[in-house]
Homo-oligomer: A and B are copies of this chain.
Amino acid sequence: MPTSLHNQVVEHLGSRIVGGVIPQGSILLAADLEDRLEVSRSVIREAIRVLAQAGLVTSTKRVGIRVLAPEHWNPFDTQVIRWRLASDQQGAQLRSLTELRSCVEPMAAELAAVHAPEAMRKELLMVSAQMSHYGRQGDLVRFLELDIRFHAIVLAASGNEMFATLATPIGAILRGRTELGLMPDRPHEEALAWHQAVADAISTADSAGARKNMDSIMRRTQNEISGIWQEAPRLFHDPTRPQRK
């Protein structure tokens, strides 16, 4: 089941652009890409359309396909996030996402306490109980999956679609954190208690408690992993000038 050809081209070009192999400002020619990648014009064109929507390139007549600067890349595009996490900008990407979740998840917990359907409240209690169980056993593999599930449920239970879609990239950074060996041998009791407290608060419609305890979780994780992005430079894109080209 080989993934479709144009997707392969999107993957090929996208990862190279984000990875810096193809530098910003480069001009790609559709005809060149045809020979180099040995595919037909239609797949090139469809791939370029997708990359253009992600903000990686823009194609104009008579000049070609221009590779755009990082500030034009759509930071919410799932593929862009994936490519950045696999590049030397992974520090900056982790920081952005972590800052985002550290403000979104407490609000999601607060909303979930008010709006979550009964089934999700129950499931949260189950998951947090299992997290404590496997966490104390030191079963990090199972714990990781439960952790991802926990945060995904809270985000979904907020009833805010935007929050819910953040579950996927957040799951990715949780996985990345364990893969990079940034997790303690077994989760801290403190963290287990906070997860439990969030689940309890949501199931009893205690919105303030849900927010507070989720906020505690966020503060801890922020402290734990902020070392990764040592001095990854921040990008300031002045909104005054739309700066097209």
Contacts and interface: CB of A to CB of B under 8 A. Distances in A.
Interface string A150-164: 001101111111111
Interface in A71-122: 71, 73-76, 95-97, 99-100, 102-104, 106-107, 111, 115-117, 119-120
B104 A100 contact: yes
Interface residues on A, range: 35 or more
Contacts of A245: none
Given A45-B46, A49-B50, A53-B50, A161 B237 contact: yes
A167 B164 CA distance: 20
B100 A167 contact: no
Contacts of A153: 239-240
Tallying the copies of this chain within the complex gives 2
Nearest to A171: B239
Contacts of A106: 103
Contacts of A238: 119-120, 156
Given A49-B50, A104-B104, 16 more contacts: A50-B50, A53-B53, A71-B161, A75-B162, A76-B162, A95-B160, A96-B162, A120-B236, A123-B240, A149-B240, A153-B240, A156-B236, A156-B239, A159-B234, A164-B239, A167-B239
